[in-house]
Structure 1
Amino acid sequence: MRDYEMWQAFGPEIWTVDGPVVTAAAGFHYPTRMAIIRLGGGDLVIWSPVALTPQLRGEVEMLGNVRYLVAPNTLHDSFIADWHRAYPVAQVLAAPGLREKRADLRLGADLGNTTVPGWTGEIEIVLVRGNRITTEAVAFHRPSGTVIFTDLLQQFPPGWFKGWRALVARLDLMVADEPSVPRKFRVAFSDKRAARAALRHILAWRADKVLMAHGTPITRGGHAYLKRTFAWLGKW
């Protein structure tokens, strides 16, 4: 039996791994999920790494060479150091802001709105700026038609939270019928013009699938789903 919850193929050259539950601020429990993308040359991109275990490491190495470790926002960096110790030649890429938070990490270039060398034609990036909580890097894996979010889209199953946390989660739109932008992120957008610009870029990808760290993945109709779930932003 694996010492993590679920490993599955999500499309051509992309896999997801659901890791252990972690405890965040105020005792809220979050499931964890990472994406693994295998590039054309066999190198692997580990997007938002979950806890590294010996068995997970062995199975990852069966897919290819770990070449990139990605922290797509300043909230998903807990396990980056462990992975970098295991794969010291891997390049650590991070969203803006993590460099100031984690001086202990040996970071490569910050993620931006340009393609990382070696990802051309396979993975594109856009930064969703203007949010006081975090700047999030959103990726598009072209071979599988998948847009990859981290925290900007969330959904928890009924009964996941108990007591007062259940009430907070409901008010925060964290337990909606489909993944949505939590209310705290919506009100934290101090620059909606920047958010709309990023969304226009994301919608231009015409995604079929949408993946997020906390929520049920969208496996069809991704473009229509994104237009629907970001309608609160207004005209873009």
Structure 2
Amino acid sequence: MPTQTDSSTLQSMSDGIWTASGDVITAAAGFHYPTRMIVKRLDDDRLWVWSPVALNEALKRELDALGRVAHIVAPNSLHHLSFSDWQCAFPTARLHGAPGMAALLPDLEFDSELTDTADPAWAGQIDQVVVRCNAITTEVVFFHRTSAAVIFTDLIQHLPDTWYSGWRRWVARWDRMIGPEPAVPRKFRLAFRDRKQARTAIDCIRAWPAKTVLFAHGEPVEEDAQAFLTRAFAWLR
């Protein structure tokens, strides 16, 4: 089970979107990862929180100042470490999980399972596609219409070349976690059991008029986003 340390501050992007860099988490075999959460103020002024990082008093105060946290989104089964704390801090918020998460994590109280159809609370503002048939995790990818930002979780990653040392650095290079630009890690590529179904989902994502690509582990892609997505998933063709 990954472990995590201490905390973060909201940074405004644009169009009612904020990000917060969270703790560096350590997973199996000592691989550690930076983390990022995203907050979107919906049209009803309530807050949509994607992949929340560790919660502390400072972050909670900032969120309370922005609005009421109404929706907490678990985009895949690998991003849930802080959810029990968030449910305690925001008891009226609804927890939305990727397919299969409710059965996998019975201690959490999920209110809905994410599908290819946006929840009525954010329909018309945020679109979504479920990328299925991956042995590691099922991931839900989102598109924020106003900012034209596509939001991935683990299907795209990009860590600095010096992030790891020793044998972990060589593994990370082989896996494409580090490299010249963000990429789909090799382990996720190999884990797809039905590439045809994966292509259908990725084609839907590539049809979005993207200007920015965000992901949990790495810095955003802010130029030529659609061309980048074509390169990132060329291995699926």
TM-score if structure 2 supplies the norm length?
0.95
Deviations for 1:4-45, whole angstroms, at most 9, x for unmatched residues?
355322221111100111111111111110000110110101
- Give the letter aligned to residue 142 of structure 2: A
Deviations for 1:68-90, whole angstroms, at most 9, x for unmatched residues?
00110000010111101000110
Q: Does 1:201 align with 2:204?
A: yes
Distance 1:93 1:159 in 2: 35
Equivalent of 1:150, from 146, 149, 153?
A: 153
Residue in 1 aligned with 2:3? none
| Structure 2 counterparts to residues 116-195 of structure 1, below 5 A | 116-195=119-198
State the 4+ residue runs in structure 1 displaced beyond 4 angstroms: none
Distance 1:165 1:5 in 2: 26
| Structure 2 counterparts to residues 1-236 of structure 1, below 5 A | 4-5=7-8, 7-234=10-237
Distance 1:4 1:156 in 2: 19
Report the RMSD for the aligned CA atoms in angstroms: 1.1
Distance 1:212 1:52 in 2: 19
Distance 2:172 2:148 in 1: 30
- Give the letter aligned to residue 96 of structure 1: P
Count of aligned positions:
232
TM-score if structure 1 supplies the norm length?
0.96
Distance 1:41 1:34 in 2: 21
Distance 2:119 2:139 in 1: 16
Distance 2:30 2:76 in 1: 21
Distance 1:218 1:37 in 2: 19
Deviations for 1:95-133, whole angstroms, at most 9, x for unmatched residues?
012112210011011000001011121011100011110
